[in-house]
Amino acid sequence: MIKKTAKIINCTRNLEVEINCWYKDKIGSIIEVYDCGTPNVRYCEYKPGKVGKISLPDIEFISVKVLTLWQPWASLFAAGIKTIETRPKPTNHTIDKGIYLIHAAKKWDKFQRDICNTHPFKHLIESNKLEMSLGAIIGSIEIVRCNKIVSEIPGHSDVFLADNNDEIIEIVNHNEIPLGDYRTGRFAWIGINPKLLIDPVPYKNGQGYYQNFKGDINQLKFK
């Protein structure tokens, strides 16, 4: 049995066939599917021992990448509270966009502990009941674009994002500024569709980002 990784992008079965379709509330989730011998339909074990059908037009086959972040930034990004990940390098727009599993690094030092007790981190963590899981996959996010950061424009206190032609296209929301490193010359990875796992899945990974998840996708159960 050959399994393939896919993202749920729609729920036409719910509209056309089943009122209580198993994946109607799981748009954006990552699953593994396999052939069931029926055209335009695949099987998926969506719960232990529970197998359901999913329409082929409702999924998009993907390769799953991994992005390792320190806490508390990992949980903030996976929860969608922080929507921009600031990086020293840009993404490759033909390779590095797409779904990333968020891997919370095992590192947990005094700097990280201290910052969790400062504003706005303390409030965001407590009000959203975020857990500081370590050494585990905690969720996923979709990287849709990458822009240059411009923070030194004379007469302006705002931070801006620019396209590849250095044209200003957006002002960064002030709530994002304390959650990243917005110095000019760095890059902003824009994330959408954040998904948290029900339970973190232990995972060993290095720093940075990687093209292929090497764990068991069936262990990833999203909220």
Q: What are the distances in angstroms from CA 83 to CA 15, 71, 77, 182?
A: 31, 15, 6, 13
- Rounded mean pLDDT of the chain? 89
Structure tokens at 132: 């500081």
pLDDT tens profile 47-101:
778 888 898 999 988 878 899 999 999 999 999 999 999 999 887 765 677 889 9
**Residues 56, 40: contact at Cβ < 8 Å?**
yes
Domains in the chain, ordered, with CATH? Answer: 3-61 (2.30.30), 65-213 (2.30.130.30)
**Res 114: pLDDT:** 98
Tell me the pTM: 0.80
Paired sense of beta strands 98-104 and 50-55, if any:
unpaired
Query: pLDDT class for 13, splitting at 50, 70, 90?
Result: low
**Res 18: pLDDT:** 52
User: Cα–Cα distance between 53 and 23 in angstroms, integer?
Assistant: 9
Greater pLDDT, 14 or 113? 113
User: Cα–Cα distance between 135 and 87 in angstroms, integer?
Assistant: 21
Q: What is the DSSP letter of 66?
A: E
The average pLDDT across 28-54 equals: 86
